[in-house]
Structure formats: C-alpha cells, structure tokens
Chain A
Amino acid sequence: MVNVDTTNVQPKLKISGLGKRYGEVVALEPTDLTVDAGEFVTLLGPSGSGKTTLLQMISGLTEPTTGTLHVDGRDETATPVHRRDMGLVFQHYALFPHMTVGENIAFPLKMRGTPASEVRERVRETLAKVQLEQYGDRFPRELSGGQQQRVALARCFVYRPQVVLMDEPLGALDKNLREHMQFEIKRLHREFGTTVIYVTHDQEEALVLSDRICLMNHARVEQIGTPREIYSRPKSIFSARFIGLSNLFVGKVSDAGDGRIVVANSNGSFEARQENCGPLVNGKAGLVLRPEQLRPGPAGAGENDITGTVTEIIYVGSDTRLVLTLQDGETLSVRHDPAATLPALGDSLTYHWPIDVAVVVS
C-alpha cells in the first residue's frame, strides 16, 4: 500500500516545548511528549517534579508559558478548558457534594445538550460499568472512598472523551483497594479504547498500568520509555534509583578497548559494554546492577564478581533479600536463591554477573 491513512500516523497528542513558570519558580521546563491514540502513558516522578503542572496544561486548567499542544494535529493550546474534549479525574475526586451520584454523572452530558432520555440511558449504562447500579440516588458523602472513586471514573468516561487525564486518582485509597482500582482503570481503558495520561509517584503502579512511562524530576523529563526499557536501561542515576531496587557502584571510568569500559572504585574494577553506557560527565559514573542479575558462586565464575559479608537478611514474602557489606562499607542487595540454604549473618559470600547486564549511568 502506498496510501497511508494519515490519521493513523498522527499522534493523538503532540506536546512541543510546553513549559510553565510562576515568576522565578520553574514548575515545568519546556517539555516534548507525543502520545498515540489508545496509549496509556504515565507521568511518574517525586512530588514537586511538575507532573500536575503538565497534566493541568494538557487539560487547559493552567495556561502554559511556552510551547504548544496539538490534538489530532489541531493546535489546541488556546482552547478554553470546557471546549477541550478531555476528561480529568482529580486526586480527591472533586465530586459535586450537592448533586446525587446520578446527577454528577449526568452533568457532562447536560453540558453538551444531550437529550434527557439519552442522558438517563447513558447514566444507567455507565453506573452498571462501575458496578454502582444501586447508588444513583445517593449523595457522594454517603459512599465509601472506593465507591466515590468509581463515581469519579464514571463521570469522566460517560461522555467518552478522547483523552482521559488522571492525577494520582488512587492516592487516597489503601493498598488493597488501590490494586483493585488499578485493575478497574485498566479495564475501562481497554473497553473504551481511550487515550490515558496518568500521574503517580508510585513506581509500582506505573509499572503495572503503563504502556509507556514518562519519568520526571526537577521540572524536567528524565526518561521516556516502556516500563521494561526504563527498568533494564535506565539513562541516569535518578532513573535507576527511582524504579526498582538497584545497586550502584560509583567510580572512575576508563576505556578498556574492544568496546568495553571499566568502572573502578575501592571495591574493585568492573567491566561493562560501551553500548550500555550513557553520556558521561567528567569521567565519573555509576554502574547499575539489579539484585536479580547477581548470581552466587565462587570468585572467577563470571566476568565480574564481588565479595561481601552478610549483614542483613530480609524476608519479603515472595523471596528473601540479603544485604552484603563490602570492603569500603558500601552495601549490596542481592536475591537469595530459594533452592540454596540460608546463610548466617557474618558469612562471607561472593556474587558474579555477566558483562552484558550492567548499565553505566551518570
């Protein structure tokens, strides 16, 4: 086929150089991001990193200082909030306390002049989708936190916005309920085929939900990629530390030739592939190793190895983690092989890893 349907190529959202400052405070440096139709993208980062600011600029609640926003190729930077076809789910739900659940859900339809009979039908249908058929006449405060959250989702999905934005929607729920709601959100996303941009500071949540993660720090995007990419190929110390458990050896970098480099510090020198090494600043870098990449064995069994004393044994249910203290007092987390016998505190253990797995970041 020569004729490519352009709507398929065009991203749903195209954010170019979008930035925000409040006087001297930079809430978000100019940022680029494209999101495809139907994609689930998560903005992940510590509090204050600019996630809400970015989301609110996409929704139109906050005016950007710089940059543009295109939806389906149309420039929507200046469109007022109520004319953007986007849904926003707030952290504390923002349900209208003076309206019943049914009236809350009917609200966006009424704003669009939907005929009354159709409003009733759609409200009932959507209430059923979130398993709240019986609750249409209740007031929000008569519902539990999880139920209120489901109403907020229903109110957002009922008018089928092309893009749904969610700002830490599960932040106020306890862990069990949160996991259940993650599942519901995924289901709604699939059923409606909506494009979702989701904000969270919880890395586990981001890993579970997202097609892609946009990792943010200090008002900037740190790294964009699939959960797998970010986990296995972090681009910075921040990325490595923020997602998953990681061991980091900071040391001097030198070229070992043959496409290999060496990171050296007082615990030894460790080799890594040049291609796994990001851009370096003044010769210092950190070698990132995930606990599960380390295998127990005698010295010399692998391409790199390290020895330490067991100082901590942590049982976390699904497996057991060991903390080794190295020569210079640094610690190393490793996964205990469930088949092997548990070591005692004070035992000296050696772990090794292949040269391919380590990533070097700065």
Chain B
Amino acid sequence: MTAASLSASPRNLRLRANALWLAAPAIAFLIVFFLIPVGRLLFLSVQGDTGNLTAEHYSRLLHTEVYWRILIITFRIAGLTAFFSLLLGYPLAYWLSQLRENRRNQMLLLVLVPFWTSYLVKAFAWMLLLGNQGVLNRLLGGAGIIDGPLPLMYNEFGVIVGMVHAMMPLAVLTMMPVMSGIDTRLSQAAGTLGANGAHRFWMVYFPLSIPGMAAGGLLTFITSLGFFIVPAFLGGRQQTMLAQLIIIQVQELVNWAFAGVLATMLLVSALIACWIYNHLFGLASLSAGNSTTDKTSSAWTRRFGFAILEKLAWATSAVTNRFAGKSRGRLLPAYVALIVFFLVVPTLMVIPIAFTSSDFLEFPPPGYSTRWFSLYFNSPIWISATVRSFGVAFATAIAATVIGGFAALAIARSRSRFGGVVFAFMLAPMIVPRIVIAVGLFYLFAQMGLVATNLGLVIGHTVLSIPFTFVAIAAVLKGYDWRLDQAAASLGAGRFQVLRLITVPLIRGGVISAFLFAFVTSFDELTIAIFVSGGLKSTLPKQMWDDMILQLNPTLAAVSVVVLVIVTAILLVADRLRR
C-alpha cells in the first residue's frame, strides 16, 4: 500500500490491529439495545405460554387469510414504491450527477430538504392536497374540469403517491454518488467510436449505473416494508400494511407473541432482499459507491443483457431521430423541474394554510392571521413536546456522534479481518425495519422501567442514528491522509496534540454534519416515540401523530411550519459546514 504502511514498526502494527477496540462502546451499545431486544422479540414468536417452544403463533398466521392479504399488500406497496421511486428519480439523479461539483452541492439541497422533512409533515400536506375537499379537487372542480371530487385518497393511489414522494429522495441520494462516479470520458470515448446519444446512454452509462439503482431500490424497498405513516393517513382499510398490524397487536391487543411473528416476517423479508442484493452486487457498494457489477453474473446473462440494451438503444435512436434537435436538449431540464416541483411544492402548501384566519383547512385561505401560531406558542402541551424533542435530539446527537465516531475511527485505523463484520453491524439498524427495533425496545424498556422516560427515547434514537453518524464520519476518515498525523508526530507533536491540531480540525466538517444528521433523525422520529413516549411525556412527532389521528386542524399546519423551519435551518448549517 502506501509507503507509510510499509514502514510501520511492529509496535505500530499492533496498535493498528488494536484500533478495533475503539468500536467496543458502539458494539456493546448495539448488542444491548439493538441485538438483544430484536432477538427477544423474534424469540417471543416461538414461545408458548409456559415458555416452551411452539409454532402455534405461526399456524395462526398461516390459517388467517386476512394476514396473508396484508402481507401481500405490504410487498406490493413496497415494490411499487421502490419501482416508481427509481423510475421517476433516475433522471433527476442523472441530471444532478452531470452538474459541476459546486453547483451539484447547491442543487442537492432540493433533494436533501425533502429527504429530511418529517414524514408526518409530508403526510399531512398530502392529506390537504388529496382530500375530497382538498386543494386538488377544489382546483379541478373550480376550473370545471371535473364534476364531483375525484377519489385521490384512502386508496392505493393516495398511498403510492405519498410513499413515492417520501422515498424518492432516498433513491436519488443513493443513486447519485454512483452516477457521478461514472467516468465522463467513457461516454466521450463511445462517441468517438461512433455511438450516438442513445447508444452512449444504454450501452455505456446505464449498465454502469446499475449498482446505484440496485442500492437505491434495496433501501427504498426495505424502508417501505416497515412504513406505516403514509398508509395510516392516505390509505383505506385495503391498504393496511404489516407495520400497522404490529402496532395494533402491541398497543390494542397486547399480543406480544403475534407481534413477534409479524416482526419476524418483516425482518426476514428485509433480510432476503439484502441477501439477493448482496449476492448480485456486494453490500460494500452501499456505502463505498464503487462496485463490481459483473462479479457473479455469468457470461451468458451478460450477453443477454447487452443484447437487450442494444435493442433499446436502436429503438431509442429511432424515436429520438424524429424529434427536432433543439427540443431534445430541453426535455431533461423540463422533467427535472417537474420532479423537483413534485418533491418540494406539496410540503410548501402547508405554509399558507398555517397562516389562515379560518377555523378550517381551506385553500386558498379566506384570510390571513397568526392565530394558529399563537395557539401553538401558548399551548403548554405543544411547547413541552417541542422542548422535549429538542432535548432528546441534542442528547441523541452527542451520544450517536461519539459512539459512531469512535467506531468509524476504529474501522479506518484497523486492518483487522473483523473490520468488515463490525462495519456491517454498525449499519444493521438501518437494514432492520424501524418498527421491529421499536417494538423490541418497548418490550425491553417495559422491564427496565424506561417506558415514558427521556432516557428511553435517547437510547432508542441513538440506536437509529448510529448508522448515519458512523457512515458520515467514516466517509471523511476514508479520505483522510493519515500520513499527515505521522508528519506531525515526526515534527514533534505528541499524541494529544496531533489529535487536537491536525486530525480534529481536518475532519471537523464531517463530525459536525454527523451531529446534525443525528439531531434531525431524532427530532423527526416517530416509530420509537409511539411506544416509548406518551401522555405528558410526548415528543413533537408523537403529539402530531395523536392530533392527526384525532382530527386535522390548522394548528397542525402551524406546527408543521415550525418543524419545516427548524429542519431546513439545521440542514443549511450542515451544508455550510460540509464545504
């Protein structure tokens, strides 16, 4: 490798192998608050009343048709969501990847802000848009295009629209780095070799972007599998998903065993998806962005794939040749504008409605006032929820940054063969559906007396945030030149001085953005909060959830605006610091 590692002394070598110990706090934390609770929950599904092993709960699943239906619907919705998120997001990711780096970082905010916008706020916005008395039906009715209201909500259409809106940013953010990593000279080379635009895309660019699509598809699929917010508000009875069923089992029926069965189904599905992905592409490319497409695919499937791509290329050239040359160049920007509009504008609709003078959620508002904001600021319930969310988010951010940061340092410095295992373990909370972690933690906390405590919330949120802080800090450390540390040491700096004067200043941007991402993750978090907080100990998202289930009202719009402003401000700060 580098000259530095060649010249490493034996003592140095031992130090580097031992660097893996820096990950010990993270490993211990995740074992206690992630591995054990999830394992316990899964075990409940095969445990009888007397503690004996039994399959009775599974046979109940097998013999109840409605559960099968829910399982199928869950897969169907997750599959459609992943499909449309990729299909609609691909051109946007492509467009972003073609921009120059500076401009790309600016434009990326158009995806990052929707990505970090609270799912609750997004669902709320879609309810305002899609309802029978919603913005769309009124606009269409007002223009005389339709007679009665269109059924846009409480059906599969509403769920898919809401889910794709929620998941597409994730798909774009996963695909984009792979795409911008594709060497532009390859397309140029194809051009000089006689390939027109269609051939350059289908035969060179597209196959090289497949690892990004696969990673994006995997992440959106498994996130959708365990999702409940959008189907709860935008779906009807027919669109009940597995996660909703788990909530019902735990909260209303207190049937832990059956909740365990459903959690197992969910987890196994996610793991199968990961296994397929790993088999085809290798999990490493999820974070690293460089992968080997053709590692396992046999010569035969490759040839078949190329034949299809070649046909697609000829077909595309036949079609595009009919268009005039000029309008072709404007197609992509026009499409991108449309998609960004879809991502950004629905959420922004909340703002005028928050300032309505009416008692109802009308659009456009009949008049403007700040009464809903003063209601919010004068409500002890909302304010205490907001303060609690801030406190919990702050504590979570510190805990997750420290724990995840040391784990990242361990991976970066260690050359132990266990590095890969630790790496996968740190990312595991991202792969296991949140609802499974939440229910598992609820069970554990009930025994430890941590339900309805701030500590419980912080622990749960830290579990969810560690993958983010770990990846963010690992990314800056990966690009960090350790020879600078050695240079400083050779110039006479002690260990602590090296850390204080060289390492930390150079990776500060990554650490601060990890902190802020953990903060936003916790500030927005609902799944764990649904179980672990409640009553007087509610967080802001939990309070919103309760209110939205009870009755939509303009206060919710005001709260949404507050959340939007806070999250956007934090993101802008994080973005500044990243450069």
Residues of A within 8 A of B (CB): 59-61, 80-84, 86-88, 90, 92, 94, 96-99, 103, 107-108, 110-112, 137, 139, 155-156, 159
Q: Find out whether the CB atom of B192 lies under 8 angstroms from the CB atom of A107.
A: no
B199 at the interface (CB under 8 A from A): yes
Closest to B195 in A: A111
Contacts of A88 in B (CB 8 A): 188-189, 192
Q: Given A94-B183, A98-B208, A107–B190 Cβ distance below 8 Å?
A: yes
Best-buried of B191, B199, B207 by chain A (most CB within 10 Å)? B191
B196 at the interface (CB under 8 A from A): yes
- Top 10 nearest A-B pairs (CB, nearest first) are A111-B194, A94-B189, A108-B193, A88-B192, A81-B191, A94-B185, A98-B207, A111-B195, A82-B196, A82-B194
Interface residues of B in 190-212 (CB under 8 A from A): 190-196, 199, 203-204, 207-208
Best-buried of A98, A156, A159 by chain B (most CB within 10 Å)? A98
Q: Find out whether the CB atom of A94 lies under 8 angstroms from the CB atom of B306.
A: no
Q: Find out whether the CB atom of A82 lies under 8 angstroms from the CB atom of B186.
A: no
Q: Given A110-B310, A139-B294, A82–B191 Cβ distance below 8 Å?
A: yes
> Shortest CB–CB separation between residue B282 and chain A, in angstroms?
15
Q: Find out whether the CB atom of B294 lies under 8 angstroms from the CB atom of A86.
A: no
Q: Find out whether the CB atom of A82 lies under 8 angstroms from the CB atom of B306.
A: no
Bound complex: CA of A96 vs CA of B183, how far in Å?
Answer: 10
Contacts of B208 in A (CB 8 A): 97-98
Q: Find out whether the CB atom of A159 lies under 8 angstroms from the CB atom of B194.
A: yes
Bound complex: CA of A80 vs CA of B189, how far in Å?
Answer: 13
Q: Please, could you name 6 A-B residue pairs with CB atoms under 8 Å apart, sorted by A? A: A81-B188, A81-B191, A82-B194, A82-B195, A94-B188, A155-B193
Q: Find out whether the CB atom of B189 lies under 8 angstroms from the CB atom of A90.
A: yes
Contacts of A156 in B (CB 8 A): 193
Contacts of A112 in B (CB 8 A): 194
Closest to B325 in A: A80
Q: Given A97-B208, A111-B199, A86–B192 Cβ distance below 8 Å?
A: yes
Bound complex: CA of A98 vs CA of B295, how far in Å?
Answer: 10
Bound complex: CA of A155 vs CA of B186, how far in Å?
Answer: 13
Residue from B191, B204, B299, B310 within 8 A of A96 (CB atoms): B204
Contacts of B204 in A (CB 8 A): 96
Contacts of A92 in B (CB 8 A): 185
Contacts of B192 in A (CB 8 A): 59-61, 81-82, 84, 86-88
Contacts of A108 in B (CB 8 A): 193-194
Contacts of B189 in A (CB 8 A): 88, 90, 94, 96
> Shortest CB–CB separation between residue B288 and chain A, in angstroms?
16
B293 at the interface (CB under 8 A from A): yes
> Shortest CB–CB separation between residue A116 and chain B, in angstroms?
11
> Shortest CB–CB separation between residue B121 and chain A, in angstroms?
41
- New A-B contacts (20) at CB < 8 Å, excluding given A90-B188, A94-B186: A60-B191, A61-B191, A82-B196, A82-B199, A87-B192, A96-B186, A96-B189, A96-B204, A99-B306, A107-B190, A107-B193, A110-B310, A111-B193, A111-B195, A112-B194, A137-B299, A139-B294, A155-B193, A156-B193, A159-B193
Interface residues of B in 505-562 (CB under 8 A from A): none
Contacts of B194 in A (CB 8 A): 82-83, 108, 111-112, 159
Contacts of A98 in B (CB 8 A): 207-208, 293-294
Bound complex: CA of A110 vs CA of B306, how far in Å?
Answer: 12
> Shortest CB–CB separation between residue B560 and chain A, in angstroms?
44
Q: Given A92-B185, A98-B208, A103–B306 Cβ distance below 8 Å?
A: yes
Residue from A97, A103, A107, A137 within 8 A of B195 (CB atoms): A107
> Shortest CB–CB separation between residue B196 and chain A, in angstroms?
5
Closest to A141 in B: B292
Bound complex: CA of A155 vs CA of B191, how far in Å?
Answer: 13
> Shortest CB–CB separation between residue B213 and chain A, in angstroms?
14
Q: Find out whether the CB atom of B188 lies under 8 angstroms from the CB atom of A61.
A: yes
Closest to A81 in B: B191
> Shortest CB–CB separation between residue B193 and chain A, in angstroms?
4
Bound complex: CA of A82 vs CA of B208, how far in Å?
Answer: 21
Contacts of A86 in B (CB 8 A): 192
Bound complex: CA of A107 vs CA of B309, how far in Å?
Answer: 13
Contacts of A139 in B (CB 8 A): 294
Bound complex: CA of A87 vs CA of B191, how far in Å?
Answer: 10
Contacts of B195 in A (CB 8 A): 82, 107, 111
Bound complex: CA of A80 vs CA of B207, how far in Å?
Answer: 24
Contacts of B193 in A (CB 8 A): 82, 87, 107-108, 111, 155-156, 159
> Shortest CB–CB separation between residue A107 and chain B, in angstroms?
6
> Shortest CB–CB separation between residue B521 and chain A, in angstroms?
35
> Shortest CB–CB separation between residue A97 and chain B, in angstroms?
7
Q: Given A82-B196, A97-B208, A110-B310, A90–B185 Cβ distance below 8 Å?
A: yes
Bound complex: CA of A61 vs CA of B310, how far in Å?
Answer: 23
Contacts of A80 in B (CB 8 A): 196
Contacts of A96 in B (CB 8 A): 186, 189-190, 204
Best-buried of A81, A84, A155 by chain B (most CB within 10 Å)? A81
> Shortest CB–CB separation between residue A142 and chain B, in angstroms?
11
Bound complex: CA of A87 vs CA of B192, how far in Å?
Answer: 6
Bound complex: CA of A59 vs CA of B190, how far in Å?
Answer: 12
Best-buried of B185, B194, B207, B208 by chain A (most CB within 10 Å)? B194
> Shortest CB–CB separation between residue B452 and chain A, in angstroms?
54
Contacts of A82 in B (CB 8 A): 191-196, 199
Contacts of B183 in A (CB 8 A): 94
Bound complex: CA of A112 vs CA of B193, how far in Å?
Answer: 9
Closest to A90 in B: B185
